[in-house]
Amino acid sequence: MSKSLPYSVKDVHYDNAKFRHRSPLKVLSQSLLTLNTKRNYASCSTGKFLILILFFGLACLMLMSRSPNDSSTNEKGKVTFVGGLRLGRLLRKPPRLPPRLSPDEGLLRSSSTNASNSDPKWAARQQSVKEAFDYAWSGYRKFSMGYDELMPISQRGVDGLGGLGATVVDALDTAMIMGLDNIVSEAGSWVEAHLLERISQKGQVNLFETTIRVLGGLLSAYHLSGGEQGTMNMTHSGPNPAVYLNVAKDLADRLLSAFKSSPTSVPFSDVILRDSIAHPAPGGMSSTAEVASVQLEFNYLSAISGDPKYSTEAMKVLAHIKTLPKTEGLVPIYISPDSGEFVGENIRLGSRGDSYYEYLIKVWLQQGAKFNSDFTYLHDMYIEAMKGVRHLLVRKSIPNGLVFVGELPYGPKGEFSPKMDHLVCFLPGTLALGATKGLTKEKALKENLLSFEDLENLKLAEDLAKACFEMYEVTATGLAPEIAYFHTEEYSEDGLEGGNKSSMYAKDIIIKHADRHNLLRPETVESLFVLFRITKDTKYRDQGWQIFEAFEKYTKVKTGGYTSLDDVTEVPPHRRDKMETFFLGETLKYLYLLFGDDSVIPLDKFVFNTEAHPLPIRTT
């Protein structure tokens, strides 16, 4: 077995002593010292006496007080109290948070501190993305309106997601953000005319896919079309926002059967919409990422509908997962709705694992991290998991030291695999967001808001974003493969290079024949967008533009739409025949936002669901 290479503390460049980890004793002595020097209270004997009493009383309180939340259930089902946990929790440093502002102050801050996109170069590039979206939509509308996806080469539609017109709903809020009123009107009218009926007639859909794409799209459309008066209104086209809300409620009511039919808090994977019944996936297991990535949507629906049932069911999943054993915060990719336990040992941040980690931090942010401590457990789980990632999954490639995230297919005691799905490229963005909570790095540093963990995660975010970009740069087409392997001391294979001989990472990245396709996925441009907003480093914009140009060159179909590719390592690439809904819902949206003004969907006011549908962060 290969040795793990911890993502070392030494790699952190920042030298702000305030962020370094300090023991509780040190914190106490430093606090006393600070009091002494700053205010000179301790020179007065009454002051000293009062401080001593204060600390003594506090210590007694911490040791003696117990609450029902401090209980744990032992194997025999008896409840035991764990006072030490409470002490630990009190001593643990809470996450550093941006100062709490009233909603009004918050909105003012967002618009006043964000630079507008005055640079004509980026304005022109943003316009090119908008035109690409218009082109993609026109192809879809011409050949496949109302189908889930366009097959651009065969010029027809296909229902790969259950037949709810997934492209229409996935694309709707992107059109709103881009100000494409005609498309908003077409897509909105289709939703108003057809979607309720479809939902009542269709058969099997996947809970996760339907939630993130269709429910998420409807909820975002509701908000962006002025659904909650005064917060955001990006369009005057399309139906009244209440239409989106009604359809969303009807859909979610049926999806709830996945939670209600299950004997545990872990929902089944599939729902028969017309009958409102649910069943497990073949084999019985649900994916961990799937069951843990519906909470942003169900929480927001509860907030706007006034009915807590959606949030209650969805949050039970995370509360349950909190109680399960993990490996340094990392979890297997399968979970059983039958037993409620994880199944197998396969740990990865790619398919079936990815958005579990994403939603831990995003649900915490959504629920008003600044004022609501009920969800601190999610932040704790996230921080622990990211520590686990740095310790167990992060390595460097040879010869040129790209930092990547691998897998543990046989658990922590099994062999490390230097395989990284393109899907893992969501992680740089999530790490950066989790570190600064959506503020710019400059502001977060200036206001001393970054903990040691935040700084480690931010550094890792920037390093991983490089590996993700190089997965594009290393190929002949400039587009990333679905999966890459990284050359390490334990693993190498010859003759599996990406086809770009001038890339300095040609030897570091290995692309197997079966993994050479590109599905127009968003994860890398998603991370470039978040990292640009947070670091303001224009290299992320440049990289995004390079990727966009490669999509334009190799995936645009003359007769309409864009297509997936079969092999990114050869030119011209052999094409597949599918335009995935997330190309319109995510990839083009993130590129558009990357080249645009920061005040559009500010990261400290919105969280994007895992399908790039922005939902507002709670302010009360």
Q: Closer to ligand DMJ by CB, 355 or 367: give it.
A: 355
Closest approach, Cβ 317 to ligand DMJ, in A, equals 16
Q: Which residues pair with 614 in a beta bridge?
A: 608
- Nearest CA to 87 out of 72, 66, 107, 69 is that of 66
Closest approach, Cβ 339 to ligand DMJ, in A, equals 25
- Nearest CA to 297 out of 278, 280, 285, 315 is that of 315
Those residues whose C-beta lies under 8 Å from the C-beta of residue 410, and which sit 6 or more positions away, are 345, 346
Closest approach, Cβ 355 to ligand DMJ, in A, equals 5
- Nearest CA to 256 out of 274, 281, 284, 278 is that of 278
Q: Closer to ligand DMJ by CB, 356 or 416: give it.
A: 356
The 3-class SS string of 533-545 reads: HHHCCCHHHHHHH
Please, where are the H alpha helices in 324-451? 354-366, 376-388, 427-436, 441-446
Among 254, 419, 441, 521, binds ligand DMJ (CB under 6 A): 521
Tell me the Ramachandran region of residue 411: left when phi exceeds 0, alpha when psi lies from -120 to 50, beta otherwise.
left
Instruction: Check binding of 370 to ligand DMJ (CB under 6 A).
Output: no
Closest approach, Cβ 561 to ligand DMJ, in A, equals 17
Of residues 347-366, which lie at the interface with ligand DMJ (CB under 6 A)?
354-355
DSSP E strands in 274-359: the ranges are 277-279, 286-287, 334-335, 342-343
* C-alpha of 344 from chain center: 24
Identify whether 282 is preceded by a cis peptide bond (ω within 30 of 0): no
Q: Closer to ligand DMJ by CB, 162 or 522: give it.
A: 522
Q: Closer to ligand DMJ by CB, 521 or 605: give it.
A: 521
Closest approach, Cβ 586 to ligand DMJ, in A, equals 6
Among 188, 367, 610, 613, binds ligand DMJ (CB under 6 A): 610
Q: Closer to ligand DMJ by CB, 311 or 430: give it.
A: 430
What is the set of active-site residues?
A: 209, 354, 482, 523
Closest approach, Cβ 357 to ligand DMJ, in A, equals 11
**Surface-to-core class of residue 79, CB atoms within 10 Å of its CB (0-12 exposed, 13-18 middle, 19+ buried):** exposed
Question: How many residues interact with ligand DMJ (rule CB under 6 A)?
Answer: 9
- Neighbour tally for 426: CB within 10 Å: 24
Those residues whose C-beta lies under 8 Å from the C-beta of residue 91, and which sit 6 or more positions away, are 24
Q: Closer to ligand DMJ by CB, 378 or 424: give it.
A: 424
Closest approach, Cβ 425 to ligand DMJ, in A, equals 9
Q: Closer to ligand DMJ by CB, 143 or 590: give it.
A: 590
Q: Which helix (H) or strand (E) holds 312?
A: helix 309-323
Instruction: Check binding of 522 to ligand DMJ (CB under 6 A).
Output: yes
What distance separates the 2 farthest-apart alpha carbons in the chain? Answer: 87
Instruction: Check binding of 167 to ligand DMJ (CB under 6 A).
Output: no
> Looking at this protein, which amino acid is placed at residue 59?
A
Between strands 419-421 and 403-405, the pairing is unpaired
Alpha carbon distances (Å) from 149 to 153, 176, 181, 381: 12, 20, 22, 36
Of residues 571-590, which lie at the interface with ligand DMJ (CB under 6 A)?
582, 586
Closest approach, Cβ 123 to ligand DMJ, in A, equals 27
Q: Are 232 and 301 in contact (CB under 8 A)?
A: no
Alpha carbon distances (Å) from 422 to 70, 287, 470, 557: 41, 18, 11, 23
Question: Pattern of binders to ligand DMJ over 389-428, x per CB under 6 A?
Answer: ----------------------------------x-----
Annotated binding residue at 555?
Answer: no
Residue nearest to ligand DMJ (CB): 610
| Number of residues that make up the chain | 620
Q: Closer to ligand DMJ by CB, 342 or 356: give it.
A: 356
Among 611, 613, 616, 617, binds ligand DMJ (CB under 6 A): 611
Residue positions forming the annotated binding site for Ca(2+): 610
Question: Where along the sequence are the contacts to ligand DMJ (CB under 6 A)?
Answer: 354-355, 423, 521-522, 582, 586, 610-611
Q: Which residues make up each annotated binding site?
A: 610
